[in-house]
Amino acid sequence: MNVRDTQGIAAGAGHSDVHVPQIAPQIAALIERSRAAQQAFEFAGQSALDTAAAAAAWAIMEPGRNRELAEQAVRDTGLGNADDKVRKNYRKTLGLLRDLHGLKTCGVIARDEATGIVEIARAVGVVAAITPSTNPAATPANKIINALKCGNAVIVAPSPKGYGACETLIGFIHAQFAKAGLDPALVQMLPAPVDKAATAALMREADLVVATGSQANVRMAYASGTPAFGVGAGNVASIVTRTANLRDAAHKIAASKTFDNATSCSSENSVVIDDAIYDAMLRELAACGGVLLDAQQKEKLQAAMWTDGKLSARCTAKSASQIAQSAGLADIATRECAFLMVEETGFGESHPFSGEKLAPVLTVYRARDFADAANIVRRLYAYIGAGHSVGLHTGEPHEALTLGSTLPVARVIVNQAHCFATGGNFDNGLPFSLSMGCGTWGRNNFSENLGFRQYLNITRVAYPIAEHVPELDSLLGDYFRRFGQ
């Protein structure tokens, strides 16, 4: 019997004064099917777990299905562009397969003769996967593959806009499962229409919640009473120092800023440029398709992008030309601009360009020197984005250690296109993921890229070893010599 079942019996038997929200019959049925499937799957062996993960991966990677999912995602959500989503769906899944290949995720996974500890991988059970509209296929697929690899079942709660693409993805997964003789109940989703009440009920009844998307969903996951991993807010800044290769930096920032119309939380929202190379760097960004707005144009853009302090849907994840048209900047809209740039000096709510924009709009700050650049980033993240990541373009790689030691960030991305690198890439060692833990800075309980380890319990068997009791002086001798007893 599942722990939650015994808790429910106890609550019903001895705590009738405690209010337990009624579970909708549809969700209760989902959970029941999911638990039955998971309990059989968990002990099916490593080959079965690997087969299920592979089936889910190929469901999204096969070119025809990938294209269909990408086009449906853009059509339904109005966010991003299909060609970039095709690349994202494929590369993120391929990279995840690489990370998982050959890993043992059930049974005994480690033995340490010196300590007498044996580690046994155990599934967590039923996973509630909360997913965003910005990546309505790639993010569910990533979570599903990780969960299956570890012997779990998954119920996805997609965003309302992303429901159709997620439903199509799960249909593709079920078709692959049929070929492999796997139970389709291992991967399910909430029935439409998805609302907060249904999502909250799923969170309460699952064994683990993994939440990506709005901070409201993350907070709801943490408040659900179920163990949860949630991500922090993005608002990535990149620093360009006087020793950087400016052309290389500009091309990488432009590629990151424009990919999928900046739907990624890892796309740069700001670039902080050393005063010594400020004008030269702006010229390089312009050569990559960036258009710097003047003060009047910036004011028009701000009015179009924010309504009552909230980002406007008409600009979110749209192309630079579409955004310029919405802002009444017809002369710019008719040009072939890749992204818009605005200069800024302030931070906080009264300076909305200092926050996350989810659009190909890049805020530009001028810094006196490296120390000032780091301080500008610190002030940006004090507003939005603490814990996520910072980019650094420099000829002095040791500067990254300074940022990693002093800024509230979980990742420092050196001389790379940030939105590709921070979630893992084939030219760095970070694990592939679409969900970035931001540590306590971002009010998260982890600071790594969300991966398979978050979907596992580990049981440790402790065998007896030869006793070794240290002498007190070996541990406190230095303290005693310096300060006495």
Q: What DSSP character marks residue 432?
A: P
HSE-up (13 A, CA, CB side) for residue 58: 12
Q: Is-contact 223 383, C-beta < 8 A?
A: no
Q: Which residues lie closer than 8 Å to 302 by C-beta, 6 or more apart? A: 352, 353
Contacts of 410 (CB under 8 A, 6+ apart): 387, 388, 389, 436, 437, 438, 439, 441, 442, 447, 448
456 three-class SS = strand
CA 361 to chain centre: 21
CB atoms within 10 A of CB 148: 33
Question: Shortest CA distance to 318 belongs to which of 310, 309, 326?
Answer: 326
419 catalytic residue (yes or no) = no
Cβ neighbours of residue 315 closer than 8 Å, sequence gap 6 or more = 304, 305, 322, 323, 326, 327, 359
| Structure-block tokens of residue 408 | 């509230």
Q: Please report how the helices 82-100 and 63-77 are oriented relative to each other, as an axis angle in degrees rounded to 10.
A: 130
* Rounded CA separation 353/363 (Å): 6
Query: What residue has token string 């939650």?
Result: 4
Distances (CA, A) of 194 to 27, 149, 197, 202, 474: 11, 27, 8, 11, 60
461 forms beta bridges with 118
**Phi-psi sector, 181: left (phi>0), alpha (psi -120 to 50), beta:** left
Rg of the Cα atoms in the chain: 25
The DSSP-derived string for 120-148 is EEEE--EEEEE--SSSTTHHHHHHHHHHH
Name the residue with tokens 């960030």. Answer: 409
Please calculate the CA angle 311-312-315 and round it to the nearest 5 degrees: 105
Whether the bond between 193 and the residue before it is cis, its omega within 30 degrees of 0, is: yes
Given the residues 106, 150, 265, 288, select the one marked as catalytic.
Answer: 265
Positions marked catalytic: 265
